[in-house]
Every structure is written in structure tokens, then in C-alpha cells.
Amino acid sequence: MHVLAITNQKGGVGKTTTAVNVSAALVKLGQRVLLVDLDPQGNATTGSGLDKSNLSHSVYDVLLDPEIAKGDIFSASTAGYDVLPANRNLAGAEVELVEGERREFRLKEALSFCRDRYDLVLIDCPPTLNLLTINGLSAATKVIIPMQCEYYALEGLSDLVQTVRRVRGHLNPNLEIEGIVRTLLDPRNALAQQVSDQLQKHFGEKVYNTPIPRNIRLAEAPSHGLTAIDYDRSSKGAKAYVALTEEILNRLTAVNHQ
């Protein structure tokens, strides 16, 4: 089971959009998928068609008691994948976990109880470096970084790379950066193209070939409780996420066969 943490310490970079649409595309490619919403805003939950104000269980419960994950607590979304959902209760989990034993590994323990059910788990991390994000990175095998091609983003990326190194050194020796996704890309923007070129120069094959364009359908889909893949499969945004997901899956499959 591959566990992919989708993370960036900067908000507004298309992190949740990437999490829900890659999850939906993976299902279309025949994969059994769990999406874990680790953000108290719960955007991945609502973007998957679930009502975050009416949850019988959430990731909050699982972080406080990982053994809950032995039961059938995952909510199936209209997109065909399971969701471990989140709402504002999750904001309180950090405070409650501060004194807890193995507080950084609660999510990892929970996922160990359901590993036979899924081929891939995607974790939508919050846009801050906190105990929730540390749980996501400790549970993950690989990190996917969505990144907007703008000047300040490169600065944030170096901070994130350092964070991944620290987590690998202290908590999760198997963690590695799987890839960087260029999001919200406008090919007519010269600066965006320069940043994109710099990314490829510095990170080489870590940068996925498929960029995600700015696209109105990607922005509209969550308000309908749908992924862009289910909202308008023919849109540029949805097609880009399908192509990106095929790329992600091909890389993971190639690693398995090495």
C-alpha cells in the first residue's frame, strides 16, 4: 500500500484540488483508494461530496484512538473512493495530542489497521507545519508537492524540503519526495514559465511532466460536491489530472518492479 502525503506549507496552491482529483482519477484506473482529510477546514471532505457537519466519525476520532480504524468507519464518496473526513473538531486534536504517547504516529497506526482494504492512501495535509502535518508525513511513504509557479514559491519549497529531511531523520526514515506538481500554470505568464524552468533544472525528474493549468471547471467543481473528473471530464483541468495520475501510477509501478 502506497501512502502519499500531499503537502505544501503555503496555502492556495491547489493542494486539496490535487488530492481529490488524483483520488478520483486513480479510481477510474481501477485502484482502491482512501483519501484522508487532515485539514480542519475539511475542504477535501466537502469536495468529495460529504457533509462535514454531519459525520459519524472523522479523522479526529482516529487520531485520538487509532484502533477505531479497525471498524468500518470510512465514508464512501460519490467519486468512488473512501474518505476519512475532517471538520473543525480536528483543530482541537492538536491540543489533545500534545501530552499523548506516540503522538506523531497516530495516523500511521490507524492506517496499519486497514492496509488490506486499499492500494493507495492519499493524505491532504493542512497548509501549516503542525502536529497534524507531522502525523501525515510520519504515516506516508512518499510526498507529493503541488506548487504554484511564482517567485515566492521556490523559497517555500526549500523550507518544505528541509521539513521532509527532518521528518526522515527523526520519525520516518523511508520518507521521500515522490514528485512536484506544477499547479495553476498559465503558459502565457513569462515569470511562471521561468519558475517552471528553474524547478526542472533543480529537481529534474522529480517534477512531473504534466502541469495543471488554471481552469474554471477545477474551481467550480467543489461547489457541486464533485471532483473535476466527475463534474466535467472533458475540461482541460480534468484531463490534466487524469494525465498526471497516470504518470504518478506509472512511477509507483516502476519502483515496485525494481
- CA–CA dist 236, 252 (Å, integer): 24
**What is the secondary structure of 51-112 as a DSSP string?**
-TTS-SS-HHHHHH-GGGGGSS-PEEPTTSSEEE---TTHHHHHHHHTTSTTGGGHHHHHHH
The top-level CATH class assigned to 2-256 is: alpha beta
Amino acid at 122: L
Strand runs (DSSP E) across the chain, as ranges?
Answer: 2-6, 33-37, 75-76, 82-84, 120-124, 142-148, 176-183
What is the pLDDT, as a whole number, of residue 255?
66
- CA–CA dist 2, 67 (Å, integer): 20
Q: Is 48 helix (H, G, I), strand (E, B) or coil?
A: coil
Closest CA to 201 of 247, 145, 154: 154
Q: Domain map of the chain by residue range?
A: 2-256
Give how far the C-alpha of residue 169 lies from the chain's centroid of Cα atoms, to the nearest Å: 22
β-pair partners for 120: 2, 33
pTM above 0.75, yes or no: yes
* Residue in the structure block whose three cell numbers are 505544501: 8
Sequential pLDDT tens for the chain (258 residues) = 899 999 998 888 889 999 999 999 999 999 999 999 999 999 999 999 999 888 888 999 999 999 999 888 888 888 899 999 999 989 888 788 877 788 999 999 999 999 899 999 999 999 888 899 999 999 999 999 999 888 777 777 888 889 999 999 999 999 999 999 999 888 788 888 888 888 888 888 999 999 999 889 999 999 998 999 999 999 999 999 999 999 999 998 886 655
